[in-house]
Amino acid sequence: MLEDDKRIMMQTAYDTKSYHLLQQIWDALIYVHKKPEADRYEKYLEDRTTQRNLAASYQALNTFNISSMHNGLTEGNNKIATIDIPIMIAWGEND
């Protein structure tokens, strides 16, 4: 239930174009080390609020875990072990 409440809150923020709330969230979680310039940030806010079902997409990304390890949100299902073609893994420390 709590996960649904968070998803609904985020979707509502996008749907109502609550730029102040979205900027607070992004500053705390995404732009921790370096924030975009003010005019670019405004364009990001405008663009991101045009996307449909964005919160549901974020939830799907947060719960998708084919690794063998817990990712902090979801236990891995180790399906990565069944992939038999070359793969590239990208990771960023401050992304």
What pLDDT, on a 0 to 100 scale, did the predictor assign at position 1? 54
> Model-level pTM?
0.62
User: What tokens does 73 get?
Assistant: 């949100």
What is residue 54's predicted lDDT score, i.e. its pLDDT? 76
In a domain, 29, yes or no: yes
Using CA atoms, how far apart are residues 22 and 66, in angstroms rounded to an integer? Answer: 29
Rounded distance, CA 42 to CA 16, Å?
Answer: 15
Residue 86 lies in a domain: no
| Cα 52 to Cα 43: distance, rounded to the nearest angstrom | 17
**From the CA atom positions of the chain, what is the Rg in Å?**
16
Residue 32 lies in domain: 2-81
Could you tell me if residue 45 is inside a domain? yes
Q: Where are the alpha helices (DSSP H) in the chain?
A: 2-15, 19-29, 38-48, 54-63
What's the total number of domains in the chain? 1
Tens of pLDDT along the chain (95 residues) come to 566 788 788 888 988 999 999 999 999 988 988 899 999 999 999 998 988 777 778 788 888 999 999 988 899 999 999 999 998 888 777 75
- Residue 2 is predicted with a pLDDT of 65
